[in-house]
Structure 1
Amino acid sequence: MSDATATAAPEQLDPANPFAAPSGLPYGLPDFVAVRTEHLAPAIAAGMAAQRAEWEAVATDDAVPDVVNTLEALERSGELLGRVLVVFHTLAGSVGGDEIHAIESEVAPRLAAHHDAFWLDRRIFNRLESLAGATALLDLDAETAWLLAQYRKNFVRAGIRLEDAEMERLRELNSRLVTLETEFSQRVVKAMEAGAVEVDDPARLAGLDEGTLAALARSAADRDAGADHLVTLVLPTQQPLLARADDRELRAELLAASEARGTGVDAASDTRATLLEIARLRAERAQLLGYEHHAAYVAEDGTAATTDAINEMLARLAAPAARNAEREADELRAMLEADPAVPAGTELSAADWSYYAERLRKERYSVDDAVLRPYLELDRLLTDGVFFAATALYGITFHERDDLAGYADGVRVWEVTEEDGSGLGLFVGDFYARAGKRGGAWMHHLVDQSHLLDRRPVVVNNLNITPPPAGEPTLLTWDEVRTCFHEFGHALHGLFSDVRYPTLSGTSVPRDFVEYPSQVNEMWMANPAVVSRFARHHVTGEPLPAELLDQVLAVAGYGEGFATTEYLGAALLDQAWHQVRPERVPTAVEEVQAFESEALVRARVAVDLVPPRYRSTYFNHTFGGGYDAGYYSYIWSEVLDADTVEWFTGDGAENGDGGLNRRAGQRFRETLLSRGFSQDPLASFRELRGRDSRIDPLLVRRGLTD
């Protein structure tokens, strides 16, 4: 095949299509009210054609390559496509539905081919190489030089140096993989819906509070279930109701439904054949590109750099985590044996763990989620917790914009302003679960910050909180509070971006670094000045009693054996699937479970009572969500996080405030949050700390010291 990027006259988009012109709304917020499903496919097609023409203009430019006619021209390309894709991907992930999924399946391979048309164009690569050869004469600023280096590295990683026949095979692999990854993600959503547990007998729901019962009844009504109550599934293996449902058979049924997702119990959501083909084709692609396996390809692009470094860290944590989990299990066995409702001789099961761990927390620390929930109301948490901490640290303020619409009912928009009153960007909150929305919690951009394009950021936080009955407040668990702070840490990373080039904006950092700022932001949920404001009774306004707060904070370290082991189980499964050669990937769907079991045993995290946070068949992070061979990132980032928390509470603190002050916040913003990917992220960390990171604070936090 020729090097030349295939070109054609750009398709003309109907001027009535809302994507035909930039949004006129503040900060470029997409006009979701004007968008209909039928607008998407034509705009995507026109956007790809327009960008291909822009790339062709760069590739065929007779002028000597320079920053403006090459780098900046590439950074400016794709405006139309970018406008429609942010909306399309938002609707696909947060709204879903058959129409959107059909478009997603149709355009995924076309977008992969579009991606390859750029990264496999030798003419553009040669212009970048020429530009690099002239950098001594051009005297590039640091950010531009870094951008040029990233482009050149990414061209090589994409396969630009392959022979023509190898390039053709690479295109085939990329097209097939993106189709399979889309299919996997869609099947995971279907599996969550198919696995929901119907409950006819209300007696089986003993132990649940009235608010939860009302939410389960609403779920049944909203989804036309055949029972009065419907327990919908969340993405991880552990389900929230396992901690509170007294009915042991219901707990076992719920965990079984969770773990059975994608295994063929529902043919329409069986993911096994899909994940096997994904693993095999990724392994083949890695070898084609010159890597031992896919995990090595991914690691090279992260701060970890090598799979040896990843394996060493995960192995260092696995054994002590499993030991801690076994010690915790012994305590829970004693509780089960003392439970008069359980027949003598009953063995502790994985479905019992959360239930008795919750009872232990209540007995040892007097902490009960049912007691806490009335003090954890979503609106107050946002205003007096998440936003308050951001104001105290960074001086920014939030003003809800009821005049700006989101893409679904319940989506809210806030304008974010600087201390001097100037506009910083928009924050969009999509907090509730809905049919068709993928599980979990995440952040994404609707507009990337860029000085080159004169754009300020628009960022979205997505959660999956069960909606309360109409007119009732949204009451949260402590874990949901943590998720709110975590995702808002990502939002701050996007909002504070202060770079020239859109490619380097905000959270566009390596995967094993991107979770670091979000994990740091979790620290503020326990800061006394913050928690005293948001943890107030939703009816009386009374603060959470001091003794209860002390108990909540004391219990924070309990259960780290379980939490670390279930996380490591998933992270090590991710590595196992991606540290194999193509011929070592199983070929029969019946072998998926055996491969998984052997990998967990080999990694020393095969604890029967602690299933992995995600089993392979619903591990969307790794087979559909962009974290392939990168799920280790959370714990890798937590090394930086724990070290930074130590800085905030030490050198960053003033008068015992735990670091919640403008001086510490501004330093963290300037040295790290604002940098995006405009330099080596670890250089940003070293600028903050004055040294490389140390793992010791993490080991102490997770109770993994000897």
Structure 2
Amino acid sequence: MTDAAATSPNPLLAPTPLPYGLPPYGDIRPEHYLPAFEAAFAEHLDEVARITGAGSEPTFENTIEALERSGALLDRVERAFYTVSSADATDEIQAIEEQLAPLMSAHSDAIQLDSALYERIQTIHDRRDEVDLTPEQRYLVERRHREMSHAGAALDDAAKATLTELNSRLSVLTTTFEKNLLADTNDLAVVFDDVSELDGLTEGEISAAAQAAADRGLDGRYVVTLTLFTGHPYLSSLTNRESRRRLLEASRSRASRGNENDNRATLREISRLRAQRAALLGYDTHAGYITSDETAGSPQAVHALLRRLAVPAAENARREQAALQAVIDGDGESFTLEAHDWAFYTERVRAARYDLDRAALRPWFEAERVLRDGVFEAAHRLYGVTFVERPDLPAYHPDARVFEVFDEDGSAVGLYILDLYTRDTKRGGAWMNSIVDQSHLRGSKPVVVNNLNVPKPAPGTPTLLTLDEVTTLFHEFGHALHGLFATVTYPHFAGTAVFRDFVEFPSQVNEMWIYWPEILDRYARHIETGEPLPAEIVEKLHASETFNQGFATSEYLAAAWLDQAWHSLTAPQAAADLDVAEFEASALADIGLANPAVPTRYSSTYFAHVFSGGYSAGYYSYIWSEVLDADTVEWFGENGGLTRENGDRFRRRLLGVGGSKDPLEAYRDFRGRDADIQPLLKRRGLDG
């Protein structure tokens, strides 16, 4: 720490002067974070000690509610930091994150495993039927008790010491996994020497590649950065087969090349330690431990769903593969379809079968118009909210834009931040997170962030999105609405604080407005002529909705199964020195998805969702939530679609409750019954 930093006030430790609790990122320096965390840890422990040291009988107010009030400073500091460490992870920020990982783990354990605190909560839980609690308060008591029990609060001291060691080591390993992946993803960005190698890309895509090269000091060349998932949007357009091969090969080799960024040993140790922790907590496997506190309830329920879907998905993929090979053969080519050819020839078949070229749609999807006349407009019509840009409010990076959100009556809802573009300091993929959560108890309104990884074109060039990127923006905005609309008393239930296998449901529902006529007509306008997307193209998009779903479903299910396979190992099984490639091949063969032409959406060494994110043994959540999503889309269709009445019902009964009631109970309150799987099977072409 510099002398100046040591003597100047730490902006993280004082209330922010900005509205909505937005951190003053313009004043925050990397050297401020660790001292702020240290102060926040100490304050939180002191607050909890006052709760446990109280001589009075445990009550909801002096224990549960007091616990909800505690940790406000830590909450503020960690949300400010982890927003930056995900979206703008400079070397200095990464070094801080590595130091923080075991400290955060130790602090969490100090609270979650506190015997005195658990005893007080146990007392309140045992007497919950004897006291007058609101439904939210009762559910909070049940969840706090369940979560501390699940974390190991009932273990003896020796077991707790072992558990703390395991958690600390895991926190270091997951941080290492993410750091390695980011470094190798940047190192493996594919450099092309001549623009002819990028034949098939649009002017904007080539501009982005040239800009990415210039940013790396490679003027006159072209750099294509990698996406988080195995494939790449450009694979559908590149006419040069060698360029496609290089791009996919780079993607699939990430963090498995035997260099300092190799994640194989790291993920094996993560798997082993998670299995050991599960055994310590009384579960056969990590998957059993995780699903026991999700809506699924058990890994068996998850496996049954994945196996049910895998068989027809694999059959559909093989039919699609034969159709693609027929196109290759019809061209007089002598090669067999490989994974890097799939997307390119899929577009050929799509063009022939539906007279539809998805790559040619980008001029209709200019990013600013998609945002304002698509994403925001759908939310306005459905929920009555409006978005006003606040360029006077600084975010954590110049590319991140801040919008103030207002309800129909003019009252303030919160802030929405959009960070659209990719950069070397941003982790891959797309996500939503909260910088500030709403809570009546704390008097706070939400500040939510959406991050995407769209290639940034050269200055003066419009940002044209692919249809997949449009879908991603609507999807992540669904998470943002969940974070903005949840209206709860207690911070424990704020925003998207719901079960992992339920959290994707609202975001998937929001994708339905992409093709809704009144919305599509507003945002899908040609960048040069202003003409709407022709009706015949819209009809073809609808007609082709189940096209290539064999591939899409198979690649997703393969990844979900890999996650389950790693986390369904018992402690003795995980202790074996498993070969990662052999393990993957065996797992995919087991579920019938071992098709070399259809690679898994994520291979283990770059499966950030499960080895450095929060989806371990939970990547199944997307398809699990999609059962609810497809059933809800059907409900909207049956009840008039994009209306305020429908929006108000969905907002009040689902989005608005946050995590303050059982999610399946909330779904039944909205839908009037449990979800039906049939709409999902129909959507993905698995019902035939």
Give unmatched runs, 5+ long, in structure 1: 1-11, 654-658
In the alignment, is residue 492 of structure 1 matched against residue 471 of structure 2?
A: no
**1:615 aligned partner:** 603
Q: Distance in 1 between matches of 2:36 and 2:365?
A: 43
Which among 584, 601, 606 is matched to residue 589 of structure 2? 601
Shift of 1:138: 2.4
Pair 1:140-2:122 in alignment: no
Aligned to 2:108: 115
Aligned to 1:687: 669
**What corresponds to 2:195 in structure 1?**
202
Which residue of structure 2 lines up, in the alignment, with residue 8 of structure 1? Answer: none
Which runs of structure 2 are paired with 1:487-566 in the superposition (5 Å)?
487-566=476-555
Matching residue of 2:238: 245
Distance 1:451 1:478 in 2: 39
CA distances 1:223-279 after superposition (whole Å, capped 9, x unpaired): 2348600111000001111111111111111111111111125x1220000000000
- Contact 1:13–1:43, Cα closer than 8 Å, also in 2: no
Bigger drift between 131-140 and 523-532 goes to 131-140
Task: Return the alpha-carbon distance in structure 2 between the equivalents of residues 241 and 696 of structure 1.
Answer: 33
TM-score for both structures, normalised by structure 2: 0.98
- Check conservation: 1:13, 1:20, Cα contact below 8 A: no
* Residues 173 and 586 of structure 1: CA distance in aligned 2, closer, same or farther (over 3 Å): closer
Query: What is the one-letter code of the residue matched to 2:614?
Result: G
SS at match of 1:38: helix
Classify the secondary structure of the residue corresponding to 1:317. helix
- By how many angstroms is 1:145 displaced? 0.7
Question: What pairs with 1:68-217 in structure 2 (closer than 5 Å)?
Answer: 68-217=61-210
Q: Indicate yes or no: 2:273 matched with 1:285.
A: no
Q: Could you say what the CA RMSD is over the residues aligned between the two structures, in angstroms? A: 1.4
Instruction: Provide TM-score, normalisation by structure 1.
Output: 0.95
Aligned residue runs from structure 1 range 303-318, under 5 A: 303-318=295-310
- Per the TM alignment, residue 192 of structure 1 is displaced from its structure 2 partner at its CA by 0.9
Shift of 1:552: 2.4
Between the aligned partners of 1:133 and 1:618, the Cα distance in structure 2 is 44
Which residues of 2 match residues 611-650 of structure 1 at below 5 A?
Answer: 611-650=599-638
Shift of 1:368: 2.1
The 1-side partners of 2:48 and 2:654 are apart by: 32
Could you list the per-position Cα deviations for residues 654-692 of structure 1 after superposition, in whole angstroms to 9, with x for gaps in the alignment?
xxxxx1000000000111000111110000100111111
Counterparts of 1:429 and 1:414 in 2: how far apart (Å)? 8
Corresponding residue SS for 1:63: coil
Cα distance change, pair 295–13 in 1 and its aligned pair in 2 (3 A): farther
SS in 2 for 1:674: helix
**Which of the residues 316, 325, 328 maps onto 1:333?**
325
Partner Cα separation in structure 2 for residue 80 and residue 49 of structure 1: 10
Instruction: Tell me which residue corresponds to 2:409.
Output: 420
Which whole-Å CA distance do the structure 2 matches of 1:316 and 1:155 have between them? Answer: 34
Displacement of 1:318 after TM fit? Answer: 0.4
Question: Sequence identity, in percent?
Answer: 50
2:650 match: 668
CA contact (8 A) 2:204 2:463 kept: no
Contact 2:628–2:675 (Cα < 8 Å) also in 1: yes
2-structure distance, mates of 1:557, 1:153: 41
Mean CA deviation greater in 288-297 or 551-560: 551-560
Structure 2 Cα separation of the partners of residues 490 and 600 of structure 1: 31
Contact in 2 for aligned 1:199/1:227 (Cα 8 Å): no
Cα distance in structure 2, aligned partners of 1:690 and 1:588: 50
The gaps in structure 2 that reach 5 residues or longer are none
Say which SS state the counterpart of residue 357 (structure 1) adopts. helix
Q: Which amino acid aligns with 1:594?
A: E
**Aligned: 1:322 with 2:325:** no
Asked if the contact 1:586/1:595 (under 8 Å) is kept, the reply is: no
Task: Show the counterpart of 1:3.
Answer: none
Q: What residue is the counterpart of 2:366 in the other structure?
A: 377
CA-to-aligned-CA distance 1:546-582 (integer Å, 9 cap, x gap)? 2222222322221100000000000000000000112
Structure 2 residue 40 is matched with structure 1 residue 57: no
Q: Distance in 1 between matches of 2:613 and 2:517?
A: 36
1:254 counterpart letter in structure 2: L
- Distance, in Å, in 2 between the alignment partners of 1:223 and 1:701 is 43
The Cα shift of 1:135 comes to 2.8
TM-fit CA distance, 1:512: 0.2
Secondary structure at 1:647's aligned position in 2? Answer: helix
What SS does the aligned partner of 2:235 have? helix
Partner residue, 1:274: 266
CA contact (8 A) 2:192 2:222 kept: yes
**Displacement after TM superposition at 1:544 (Å):** 1.3
Within 2, Cα distance between the matches of 1:553 and 1:400?
33
Q: Which residue of 2 aligns with 1:387?
A: 376
State which drifts further: 225-234 or 479-488.
Answer: 225-234
Shift of 1:587: 4.4
Local SS of the residue matching 2:272: helix
Shift of 1:389: 0.5
CA contact (8 A) 1:207 1:244 kept: yes
Alpha-carbon separation, structure 2, partners of 1:127 and 1:410: 47
Shift of the 336–586 alpha-carbon distance from structure 1 to 2, 3 Å rule, reads: farther
- 1:286-339 alpha-carbon deviations (Å, 9 max, x no partner): 000000100001101110011111010000000000000000000000111122
Q: What's 2:448 paired with?
A: 459
Give the whole-Å Cα distance in 2 for the aligned partners of 1:381 and 1:188. 31
Quick check: 1:188–1:262 contact (8 Å CA) kept in 2?
yes
Describe the SS at the equivalent of 2:144: helix
Q: Deviations over 1:7-62 (max 9, x none)?
A: xxxxx997711012121211111111111111111101111111011111111111
SS at match of 1:269: coil
> Hey, what does 1:362 align to over in structure 2?
351
